[in-house]
Amino acid sequence: MQTASRTARLMAVQRGLESSRPSPKRLFEDRLARSFVSPTWRLALGGARFAPIRIGLEAAYDLVGGPGPRASAIARTRLIDDLLEEFAPWVDQIVILGAGFDTRPYRLRCLSTRRVFEVDHSDTQKAKRSGLAQVLDSETSGVAFVPVDFETDDLAEVLLGAGFSSEQTTLFLWEGVTQYLSAEAVTATLRVIRHLSRPKSFLLFTYVDESVITDGLANFPEAKRWLKGVRKRSEPWIFGIDPREVARLLTDHGFQLINDVSTREAGNRYFSLVGRHDRGSGLYHVVTACTLDSR
């Protein structure tokens, strides 16, 4: 029997911890995150509104996972939130690939008037819809859940079958997924995204520096426990990109690079604004791209 992604649940824990911070110290507020964690973590997050408990939980989390994962997850969430706020007014529909327990369609106002397609494994979607049903009066009518296996399914076919229109401008969000896929699956997905994208569409995606997977632990010492953790959850990283090759990769698939920001850079920007000393990792990147003029 398949279950929801453990990594997706862990991301919900990280977002729940951040949301327990008082304003203005928190980078975002995701009150739905607690709906997708284990009963033990739900109890812990309930207590995290008290500063000593939250500080203890974050310290324990960082001790086990190592410096980098939690801060990187928080920085990337805020960065992508801001990018969606910037680009959503220019598109007609949003596709969230590997949506996991992402709650942006329910918490970001900029998405409330856009058609949203959440694409993920059916088991994760089942768990998500169950969690949403407990906290929302009704699911957002503008959200379509599209079950898919990126390694085997025809992404274009299932999206079009769910009502996606290739004649509308689209923003594709692909967060926290590529490192878990084969190179062939990543390439195939990029081809499908470009095939389905009309001009003036956008792509936001994350990737890890490929050197971490090959021989780059000396460059990113924080990665040792990070990699151990994902292997322990039976969700190892198997794909990365050389940051020097991102622009070429995008051009080869019909996109133009707009920006490539590491979670260390994003963290330096956001955490300093609120007087925090959290430090994201340089091994994790968020890319913004747009379609070239012709398919």
214, with CB counted inside 10 A (0-12, 13-18, 19+), is exposed
In a domain? residue 60: no
In a domain? residue 162: yes
In a domain? residue 126: yes
pLDDT tens sequence across 237-289:
999 999 999 999 999 999 999 999 999 999 999 999 999 999 999 999 999 99
Q: What is the CATH number of the domain that holds 208?
A: 3.40.50.150
Cα 194 to the chain's mean position, in Å?
A: 20
Confidence of residue 1 (pLDDT cuts 50, 70, 90): very low
For residue 65, give the DSSP letter.
Answer: H
In a domain? residue 57: no
The pLDDT assigned to 136 comes to: 85
Q: Find all residues with CB under 8 Å of 259, minimum gap 6, and list them.
A: 287, 288
Mean pLDDT of 154-172: 96
In a domain? residue 244: yes
Contact 4, 123 (CB under 8 A): yes
pLDDT tens sequence across 206-222:
999 999 998 767 789 88
In a domain? residue 108: yes
Which of 78, 77, 80 is closest to 88 using CA atoms?
A: 80
The two three-digit tokens of residue 179, written as one number: 């490192």
Rg (CA), the chain: 18
Contact 171, 204 (CB under 8 A): yes
pLDDT tens sequence across 107-152:
999 998 999 999 999 999 999 999 998 888 765 567 999 999 877 8
Range of the domain at 90: 68-291
CA angle 200, 288, 270 (to 5 degrees): 135
In a domain? residue 174: yes
In a domain? residue 6: no
How many domains are contained in the chain?
1
Q: Find all residues with CB under 8 Å of 142, minimum gap 6, and list them.
A: 105, 111, 112, 113, 114, 115, 116
